[in-house]
Amino acid sequence: FAIASNSKAFTAAALAILVDEGRIKWDDPATKYLPGFQLYDPYATRELTVRDLISHRSGLATFGGDLLWYETTYDRNEVLRRIRYLKPTSSFRSRYGYQNIMFLAAGQIVANMSGKSWDEFVREHFFVPLGMNRTVTSIRDLKNMDDVATPHNEVDGRVRAIHYSNVDAVGPAAGINTSVAELAQWIRLQLGRGTYNGKQIFSSARSHDMWSPNTIIPLSEASEKFNPTRHFNLYGMGWFLSDYQGRKVASHSGGLDGMVSQVALMPEENLGVVVLTNSETALGTILVNKVFDTFLGVPARDWSAEIMARVKQGEAADKVEEQKIEASRVPNTKPSLALAGYTGTFTGEMYGDARVTEENGHLVLRLVAAPNFVGDLEHWHYDTFRIKWRDSIVYPFPKGFVTFTLSPEGKVDQLKLDVPNPDFDFKELEFHHIESSSAQK
């Protein structure tokens, strides 16, 4: 199974080993160990520490920049180079913003300071000593293995098998594939505060560091009502920190196309729970809560029914939102230009190029860095077109919209994307027209 963001704890622990060895310090500037790393804000670039990288307080938005690695041809170094063009959404260290690319930067520090790739480092320091013999850091390593789960997602009410997502470019944030039996050994190491079968892999002091809070995550009123025994939500380094029935909990979830993982530890009880699934459901949360309740002997709750009710509420809200979108359409409008006037190459500093062509009487959008991102455009109103993504994309994106803006001379100038979804912010992508389709020929 792909464990996605449960890989982050491995990256934090890799840094912890380097701290133990005196090669790095948590509160040194990240640029000391990663020369050339740059954020949009010069102050954040200068002040960002190793601790900040893995605490989700960079000032970048939750999932900000993730379109740089998802389905693109960019490697780790190129993703990090391009993140300098992403504008922050909050002041540095002022609030929580869940970041994959900052963990990628942390993984590159591991590589720079150890002389080994992140993949080699975690294999040598964790997989081998813990006996995690089938655990790998890339889906390419799964090709010659048997007993490998197939990811599934749901589209229009139908569950379908899909291919694995290659996330090598952001491996330190999401790249590990493993089994319940092998991940259980990782849990034993964590509950052992860095010691496994009598061998110390990282110190108890570093375990304390990783399980100490750095960033406050606001608890919503709805969340408090749903789980009244939970009083706080924080992030340490590679771990979420909260409480459950009076016990401290260190946990993390992970999600990729067709795969969801859940790891939860209750250190005071020496209890750890691992749930790996090959579908995109809330099963992990349900099972973790059920195990905790049973272990602690507290009154049982029907977590499955309660969470299903919340899922249904979410689906109903999505339908209402879709109705609002349909109602917002202005009827009987026409594009400002002939279709050929919208074609050409559009470019942005952060993402690269997008191309619009005219094919069989309609426009087609292609994101050059992500060859699978192809969408057919249907006129919506004025200079806005609705996107129908082709089946080459496994993520169930809604249709979304492309809006073209025109220059004072009446020529196409910019292309703006709006694809509402919980994981990727297309509005971050800024594209400016640079040439016409005829010029390309």
CATH number where 100 lies = 3.40.710.10
Q: What is the pLDDT of residue 154?
A: 87
With respect to residue 261, please indicate whether it lies within any of the assigned structural domains: yes
Q: Are residues 234 and 359 in the same domain?
A: no
Q: DSSP string spanning 66-98?
A: GGGTTT-S--HHHHHHHGGGSPPSS-TTTS---
d(CA 90, CA 226): 28
d(CA 148, CA 178): 9
Q: Are residues 362 and 435 in the same domain?
A: yes
Q: Are residues 434 and 363 in the same domain?
A: yes
Q: Are residues 188 and 81 in the same domain?
A: yes
pLDDT higher than threshold 90 for residue 436 = no
Q: Are 433 and 414 in contact (CB under 8 A)?
A: yes
Q: Which two tokens stand for residue 336?
A: 């400002």
- The residues, any chain, with a CB within 8 Å of residue 33's CB and separated by 6 or more, are 24, 50, 109, 112, 113
Q: What are the backbone dihedrals phi and psi of residue 437, each rounded to the nearest 5 degrees, phi first?
A: -65, -30
Q: What is the pLDDT of residue 439?
A: 39
Task: Tell me which amino acid residue 62 is.
Answer: T
CA–chain centroid gap for 412, Å, is: 33
Q: What is the pLDDT of residue 435?
A: 63
pLDDT higher than threshold 60 for residue 57 = yes
Q: What is the pLDDT of residues 98-130, one digit of tens each?
A: 999 999 999 999 999 999 999 999 999 999 999
Q: What is the pLDDT of residue 441?
A: 35
Q: What is the pLDDT of residue 438?
A: 40
With respect to residue 94, please indicate whether it lies within any of the assigned structural domains: yes
Q: Strand 195-196 to strand 152-155: parallel, antiparallel, or no bridges (unpaired)?
A: unpaired
Q: Are residues 249 and 180 in the same domain?
A: yes
The number of beta carbons lying within 10 Å of the beta carbon of residue 332 is 5
Share of the chain above pLDDT 70, in %: 98
Task: Tell me which amino acid residue 137 is.
Answer: T
For the chain, what is the mean pLDDT? 96
Q: What is the pLDDT of residues 203-214, one digit of tens each?
A: 999 999 999 999
With respect to residue 371, please indicate whether it lies within any of the assigned structural domains: yes
Report helix, strand or coil for 434.
strand
Longest CA–CA span in the chain (Å) reads 74
Domain count across the chain: 3
Q: Are residues 228 and 307 in the same domain?
A: no
Q: Which two tokens stand for residue 340?
A: 């050929």
Q: What is the pLDDT of residues 221-239, one digit of tens each?
A: 888 888 888 999 999 999 9
Q: Are residues 280 and 311 in the same domain?
A: no
The residue ranking higher by pLDDT, 440 or 42, is 42
With respect to residue 334, please indicate whether it lies within any of the assigned structural domains: no
d(CA 412, CA 434): 10
Q: Are 240 and 234 in contact (CB under 8 A)?
A: yes
Q: Are residues 97 and 149 in the same domain?
A: yes
With respect to residue 372, please indicate whether it lies within any of the assigned structural domains: yes
Q: Are residues 304 and 290 in the same domain?
A: no
Q: What is the pLDDT of residue 157?
A: 81
Confidence of residue 389 (pLDDT cuts 50, 70, 90): very high
Q: Are residues 48 and 136 in the same domain?
A: yes
Q: What are the backbone dihedrals phi and psi of residue 375, each rounded to the nearest 5 degrees, phi first?
A: -135, 140
Domain carrying residue 347: 339-440
pLDDT higher than threshold 90 for residue 182 = yes
Confidence of residue 155 (pLDDT cuts 50, 70, 90): confident
Q: What is the pLDDT of residues 238-266, one digit of tens each?
A: 999 999 999 999 999 999 999 999 999 99
Residue from 20, 346, 4, 355 nearest 165 by CA: 4
Whole-angstrom CA distances from 289 to 86, 163, 228, 264, 434 are: 37, 30, 13, 9, 53
The residue ranking higher by pLDDT, 165 or 3, is 3
Q: Are residues 159 and 255 in the same domain?
A: yes
Mean pLDDT, residues 4-20: 99
3-state per-residue secondary structure call for 396-416: CCCCCEEEEEECCCCCEEEEE
d(CA 355, CA 207): 48
Q: Are residues 201 and 215 in the same domain?
A: yes
d(CA 96, CA 93): 8
Give me the residues paired with residue 265 across strands: 250, 272
Q: Are 19 and 201 in contact (CB under 8 A)?
A: no
pLDDT higher than threshold 70 for residue 49 = yes
The CATH number of the domain holding residue 394 is: 2.40.128.600
Confidence of residue 82 (pLDDT cuts 50, 70, 90): very high
With respect to residue 128, please indicate whether it lies within any of the assigned structural domains: yes
With respect to residue 333, please indicate whether it lies within any of the assigned structural domains: no
pTM, two decimals, is 0.95
With respect to residue 315, please indicate whether it lies within any of the assigned structural domains: yes
